[in-house]
Structure 1
């Protein structure tokens, strides 16, 4: 698919991504916005997202993001990026429903192909990698390149995750050739943490628990703790990644409380367990090595249920090895 081909005859374009947008979601949405503003200045383009974190301040026109949907506007084409299902684009669902044509660009294995045009590659490192393939390289500006590089960096864990391919590195290199400040993008948007974030990270690590013979680790941040430190779920990014780096651990589980016996669960694995299967079982989704879902109930029960799913996969792998 070529993005510009899909926009023939269009005058109004809407763009959105998933709730609680991360680096890949912000990078892909703003990358598409930047590309269209550079190459199709006549288009009326609007990006709808929750307010991004201040770490993405370097992205051009980041302040142009709209956080409230224009329910009266009918878009000729409406893009959804880095999102596997329509329930993940609230509160902008009405913009999608009212559009004359819809396009989804994504890389989640759980994507249900809900748009009129779907460009989904579950093997891609990021939505930004998929987006790049729909653009014309010679029309990608430095500003657009910074967005695409941001998304790739965030969804590959700075090129560490198994989804990182030679193609991923090639695209990242092409973006670097556009003149972006790639080292600052990594430092400022991925590694830099506030003092408060470091404090709550330290607390989460200190209170983490190993189980399943040290192959799994989990930690929890309660609402009371979030209120004490004055943080929201957005400031908790990076905790599950740090848990994953624990020696001997295959699966890391991080929960933060969002309501009475309600938790946002993030899962990460290294090489063996497919956490997307676990997340999808509980109504969530994601990737083989990174996924999440919302859980209700007691923390003890949630962890036990996840542990049972992990054990099922280990048993299946063990059975397959015995057959061989």
Structure 2
């Protein structure tokens, strides 16, 4: 992360009065926790801050301080002089529509490997475990010249950010720096079990029913190097679940012994498919996602593609197979749910 950009972001925040914070569509733990923490701190500075997301808050994160004030809307209802985009490359990935008469400065705070960040000021660190790491460093920088200090609610949000994006400190992005920051956040009184319980041990029964339907779709490549599964709209109707309940399903095929890449296909509608990919390290799935106008990290990436589930699966699985010198059995990989 460039220190100069950290100072520029700090200066922009101090000069601004009306601030809009947002994150990417289908927000995850890092995006939500980062924007919530930043909102809480900026309000301590006396700023007028509004958080607006295109999509609703996943229920597993309802325990976080301040998230009850997040607005779900397609566009802001006030005129911000500054917009902060967390955990993605820019406004186009948030789903928000900014009226033409609004001309706010845009700051992007992101840790993804892809190169689509287009804020006027970009606070980036591709080696950071989570965007929450960058928000932590920003708040600590601002504390130097401000009476406003980090407190338990802010620390809880930032700990959750790092906790979720490292897969509860299991993934390869669990760096010494991530653990160091997490330990400092715990010192504010964070109970790590409380966070783990809320995120991983409080699943609704309907989610397990959805998981069962997903597991029935699992397939594996000829050499066992990659595996995949899918969910269609009908699955949500049958189980009474929502899109947010698919979070983490891609980890089931990823957990298969010998599998290097896992792919999860989710039918958004009859013409759009959302793809999530996970790698154990050998394959850069962000590079694959970029070929389909998506992005992400080396080990976690995704994209949205137009087409039927069958056609999209063929295209994506062919690309994954090439990256692993493997192949999809002809009779498998393209079946849709009945």
What is the TM-score normalised by the length of structure 2?
0.86
What is the alpha-carbon distance in structure 2 between the residues aligned to residue 230 and residue 281 of structure 1?
34
What is the alpha-carbon distance in structure 1 between the residues aligned to residue 12 and residue 163 of structure 2?
27
CA shift for structure 1 position 53: 1.9
Q: Would the aligned equivalents of 2:206 and 2:239 in 1 still touch at CA under 8 Å?
A: yes
- Of 295, 315, 318 in structure 2, the residue corresponding to residue 285 of structure 1 is 295
Match of 2:114 in 1: 110
Match of 1:319 in 2: none
Q: Would the aligned equivalents of 2:139 and 2:150 in 1 still touch at CA under 8 Å?
A: yes
What is the alpha-carbon distance in structure 1 between the residues aligned to residue 127 and residue 175 of structure 2?
9
Match of 2:56 in 1: 51
Residue 265 of structure 1 pairs with residue 267 of structure 2: no
- Of 26, 30, 52 in structure 1, the residue corresponding to residue 36 of structure 2 is 30
- Of 12, 20, 37 in structure 2, the residue corresponding to residue 14 of structure 1 is 20
Match of 2:91 in 1: 86
What is the alpha-carbon distance in structure 2 between the residues aligned to residue 251 and residue 304 of structure 1?
16
Residue 129 of structure 1 pairs with residue 139 of structure 2: no
- Of 211, 215, 234 in structure 1, the residue corresponding to residue 225 of structure 2 is 215
Match of 2:214 in 1: 204
Q: What is the CA RMSD across the aligned residues, in angstroms?
A: 2.0
Match of 2:65 in 1: 60
Q: Would the aligned equivalents of 2:270 and 2:308 in 1 still touch at CA under 8 Å?
A: no
Bigger helix fraction = 1
What is the alpha-carbon distance in structure 1 between the residues aligned to residue 166 and residue 77 of structure 2?
38
CA deviations over 1:26-72 (Å, ceiling 9, x no partner)? 0000010111123x0x2111011132122222211211111125645
Equivalences for residues 128-167 of structure 1 within 5 A: 128-136=132-140, 139-167=149-177
What is the alpha-carbon distance in structure 1 between the residues aligned to residue 140 and residue 99 of structure 2?
27
What is the alpha-carbon distance in structure 2 between the residues aligned to residue 96 and residue 88 of structure 1?
18
What is the alpha-carbon distance in structure 1 between the residues aligned to residue 221 and residue 322 of structure 2?
15
CA shift for structure 1 position 95: 6.6
Q: Would the aligned equivalents of 1:126 and 1:155 in 2 still touch at CA under 8 Å?
A: yes
Distance change (3 Å), C-alpha of 1:216 and 1:70: closer
What is the TM-score normalised by the length of structure 1?
0.90
What is the alpha-carbon distance in structure 2 between the residues aligned to residue 96 and residue 220 of structure 1?
39
Q: Would the aligned equivalents of 1:56 and 1:189 in 2 still touch at CA under 8 Å?
A: yes
Q: Would the aligned equivalents of 1:75 and 1:95 in 2 still touch at CA under 8 Å?
A: no
Q: Which secondary structure state, in structure 2, belongs to the residue aligned with residue 135 of structure 1?
A: helix
CA deviations over 1:206-239 (Å, ceiling 9, x no partner)? 3201114111111111111221112221111111
What is the alpha-carbon distance in structure 2 between the residues aligned to residue 107 and residue 182 of structure 1?
23
What is the alpha-carbon distance in structure 2 between the residues aligned to residue 95 and residue 188 of structure 1?
37
Match of 2:329 in 1: none
- Of 301, 304, 307 in structure 2, the residue corresponding to residue 294 of structure 1 is 304
Match of 1:304 in 2: 314
Distance change (3 Å), C-alpha of 1:310 and 1:186: same
What is the alpha-carbon distance in structure 1 between the residues aligned to residue 247 and residue 93 of structure 2?
18
What is the alpha-carbon distance in structure 1 between the residues aligned to residue 264 and residue 76 of structure 2?
36
Aligned residue-pair number: 312
Q: Would the aligned equivalents of 1:83 and 1:111 in 2 still touch at CA under 8 Å?
A: no
CA shift for structure 1 position 99: 4.2
